[in-house]
Amino acid sequence: MKPALVVFALAAAAGPLHAQSFTGEFRALGTGAYAPQVDRRPGDTEPIGPPNDSPMAGGMWDISFITGRFRLGPEGFVLRGPERRVWSLGGIARYEFGSSGIRPYGLIGAGAYFWDREYLLEPPLGAPFLTWGSDVNLFSVSLGGGLSVGSPRSRLSAIAELRMHRNLQQNDEAGSRPMVSLGLGGRVSW
């Protein structure tokens, strides 16, 4: 076979592969969040009282499958602040608008949110020490939007995302756990 024929065959095979759309993506974001103070509820018998307001920082990640402009998959995050920490496992759905270099998208997420707070443990024998304990575990939802920056055909792009989180379950003693988060990061598509 002549070298020119081999080069032509490889170029012809690579053309359709390049035009194929992506089937999935991985997103990772560095995230800052804020959770307001929780009011003391009737029936709350915790001696340390409800958690105060708290800024938090951490990370979010998800693996989504892509069909057209729709993305769906599992997600998780871990955030920690001086008074609280929260982690979640759930799912996320995004719908991307437009096909330019800057593409807005809307999102909805849902999952189990596990809220912890730091408290002073005073054992009967020994010195008191700070530790983390579960405050409340609730099924929650998040709504928001973001921007994806980069060519739609590129495997890499930068992302920015703003979300409001709110629990769907109501724990009469523990109160509500709202939170707002802002994430900056990137995505890799395959």
Q: How far apart are CA 131 and CA 116, in angstroms?
A: 10
How far apart are alpha carbons 62 and 185 in whole angstroms? 12
CA 157, CA 105: separation in Å to the nearest integer? 14
Residue that has been written with the tokens 């408290």 in this structure: 119
Tokens found for residue 143: 């709504």
What tokens appear for 154 in the block?
Answer: 């590129």
Domains, the chain: 20-189 (2.40.160.20)
pLDDT value of residue 15: 44
Per-residue pLDDT of the chain (190 residues; tens, 9 = 90+): 577 766 655 554 444 444 457 899 999 999 999 999 877 666 666 656 667 888 999 999 999 999 999 999 999 999 999 878 999 999 999 999 988 999 999 999 999 999 888 878 888 888 998 888 777 888 999 999 999 999 988 999 999 999 999 988 766 666 678 999 999 999 999 9
pLDDT at res. 14: 46
Within 8 A by CB and 6+ apart from 148, the residues are: 96, 102, 103, 104, 105, 157, 158, 159, 187
At 74, which amino acid appears?
P
What integer pLDDT is reported at residue 179 of this predicted model? 94
Contact 43, 172 (CB under 8 A): yes
- Against a cut of 0.85, is the pTM above it? no
How much is the pLDDT for 10? 54
